[in-house]
Homo-oligomer: A and B are copies of this chain.
Amino acid sequence: MGELRRDPITGRWVIVDTDSPLSPKDFEKEMHHWRGGECPFCYGSESLTPPEIEAIRIEGTHPNTPGWKVRVVPNKFPALRVEGDLDKRGVGIYDMSCGIGAHEVIIETPYHYKDIPSLLDEEVKDILEMCCRRAIDLKNDRRFKYILIFKNYGPSAGASLEHPHTQLIALPMIPKNVIEELSGAHYYFEYRERCIFCDILRQESQEKERIISENKNFLAFCPFVSRFPFEIWILPKKHNPDFFGMKAEELGDLAKILKEVLRRTGELLFSPAYNYIIHTSPLDGIEYESYHWHIEIMPKLTRVAGFEWGTGFYVVPTPPEIAAKYLKEV
């Protein structure tokens, strides 16, 4: 893809596509439409993607042919490339390096029109299990310091293909937003000798008004400091810094609660576009004891505008207490 560049003022990283840059005319279609044409993620189109990395398959079926239930392929238009070294260098006061990383697509189901709420619990569990498997495999590449797993659903959440898929990006550095969260949690831990996420769990369970759903291993709620209306967090009840080490029982419970809250969101808000992000600890060999992995789901109902960009403040037109009430009742 291209170059990694680092802002000398804020330390923010940017991936610049120097290989196949978009021209002014490319943007209009880029923004508002599905990519169109034959869907490369459907049965029978396996040859339209790069060769598969891994799949959960019906016994006896062969790689890159139909018969898979969850299929992982390299992103055809990766943000970062797997081959090569970082080659960090300065350009005057600026810092840059090569765009090294892995960018994989986890095709969640062979069904083009089935999103998570319409899959079986077992099928959702397969997707989550595959996320863990891929992360554990990529962990062996010592160049990678962080693995981000996320989903863009709907064009206004940044999805360019309609067929349900999750993305995985392995990064050669710990991203800024992750560092911020880790340090916040660490600071609280140092001060109180408690995990801040465990304290959030405790307070939410007492106050109850922001809870949407819970089961043995997970709590789903609208966070007190939601950035977006109808934002939802799913927190594991057991303290654990790391998403990738979940047990089978936990995976099953996560599949159930994720499916449930997405169903509620879809019904209440007319299938809104959304992003969800798995927040987990880095792979740099350090133990992040004060961190607590979780999932943040952000429906795209409002626009981020000048005020948010300029301040980092967010304006939330629906309080999480009210959002949770709607979501619980639907």
Binding site for B on A (CB under 8 A): 2-3, 5-18, 21-24, 26-28, 30-31, 79, 91-94, 146, 148, 150-152, 155-159, 167, 169, 171, 175-178, 180-181, 184-185, 188, 196-197, 199-200, 203, 207, 224-227, 229-230, 268-270, 272, 275-277, 279, 298, 301-307, 309-320, 322, 326
- Are B196 and A312 closer than 8 Å at their CB atoms? no
A169 CA to B301 CA, complexed, in Å: 23
The answer to whether B157 and A92 have CB atoms under 8 Å apart is no
Q: Please state if B5 and A306 are interface contacts (CB–CB under 8 Å).
A: no
Task: State which of B167, B184, B307 has its C-beta within 8 Å of the C-beta of A306.
Answer: B167
Assess the A175–B9 pair: CB atoms within 8 A: no
CB contacts (< 8 Å) of A17 on chain B: these are: 315-319
Cβ-defined contact, A8 with B176, below 8 A: no
Q: Given known contacts A184-B11, A227-B14, A316-B17, is B31 in contact with A302 (CB within 8 Å)?
A: yes
The one of B30, B79, B305, B314 that contacts A307, using a Cβ cutoff of 8 Å: B79
Chain A interface, >50% SS class = mixed
Return A244 CB to nearest CB of chain B, in Å: 16
- Closest B residue to A4 by beta carbon equals B313
Contact indicator B319/A175 (Cβ below 8 Å): no
Q: A6-B225, A167-B307 are in contact. List 17 more A-B contacts (CB 8 A).
A: A2-B319, A9-B188, A9-B196, A14-B313, A16-B320, A17-B315, A21-B322, A27-B272, A30-B302, A93-B196, A150-B306, A159-B305, A169-B311, A171-B313, A176-B311, A177-B311, A276-B306
Q: Which residues on the B side are within 8 Å of A301 (C-beta)?
A: 27, 30-31
For A79, the closest partner residue in chain B by CB is B315
CA distance A92 to B207 in the complex (A): 10
- Which 9 pairs, one residue from A and one from B, show the smallest C-beta to C-beta distance? A158-B305, A150-B306, A175-B311, A176-B312, A177-B312, A9-B184, A275-B306, A277-B310, A22-B317
CB neighbours (8 Å) of A181 from chain B are 9-10
Within 8 Å CB of A270, what residues of B? 24, 28
Is B27 within 8 A of A309, CB to CB? no
Which of chain B's residues have a CB closer than 8 A to the CB of A185? Answer: 9
Q: Are B225 and A7 interface neighbours, CB within 8 A?
A: yes
Known contacts: A93-B196, A312-B177. The answer to whether A21 contacts B317 by CB under 8 A is yes
> In the complex the two chains form, is A303's CB within 8 Å of B31's CB?
yes
User: A157 contacts which of B2, B303, B312, B316 (Cβ < 8 Å)?
Assistant: B303
Are A314 and B158 closer than 8 Å at their CB atoms?
A: no
Bound form: Cα–Cα A322–B157 in Å: 27
Residues of chain B lying within 8 A (CB to CB) of residue A178: 310-311
**Contact in complex: B91, A15 (CB < 8 Å):** no
CA distance A326 to B26 in the complex (A): 13
Contacts A9-B181, A24-B269 given; indicate if A304 touches B306 (C-beta within 8 A): no
CB-CB under 8 A from A180, the residues of chain B are: 10, 312
Give min CB distance, A63 to chain B, whole Å. 27
